[in-house]
Amino acid sequence: MARSYVGEARRRGLGRRRERIVPIVERLAHEHADAAIALRFRSDLELLVSVMLSAQTTDTNVNRVTTRLFEKYRAPEDYLAVPLEELERDIYATGFFRQKAKAVRGTMRVLLEEFDGRVPRRLEELMRLPGVARKTANVVAAELGHAQGIVVDTHVRRLSQRLGLTRREDPVKIERDLQRVVPRADWARFPHLLIWHGRRVCDARRPRCEDCVLEDLCPSSRLGLVRSSGASGRARAAARSTRG
* Residues noted as catalytic: 135, 153
Residue 127's φ and ψ, nearest 5 degrees, are -75, -5
- Residue 52: count other Cβ atoms within 10 Å of its Cβ: 23
Kind plus residue range of the DSSP H or E element containing 160: helix 154-162
**Alpha-carbon Rg of the chain, whole angstroms?**
22
What single-letter amino acid sits at 163?
L
Instruction: Give the residue from 108, 117, 139 showing the smallest Cα distance to 39.
Output: 139
Query: At CA 226, angle to CA 224 and CA 227, rounded to 5?
Result: 65
Return the axis-axis angle of helices 189-200 and 17-31, rounded to nearest 10°: 70
Query: By the 8 A CB rule, do 141 and 114 touch?
Result: no
- Tally of CA atoms within 13 A in the half-sphere of 164 that contains its CB: 26
- Answer positive or negative: Cα dihedral of 201, 223, 228, 31: negative
Q: Give 192's contacts (C-beta < 8 A, 6+ positions apart).
A: 32, 35, 36, 37
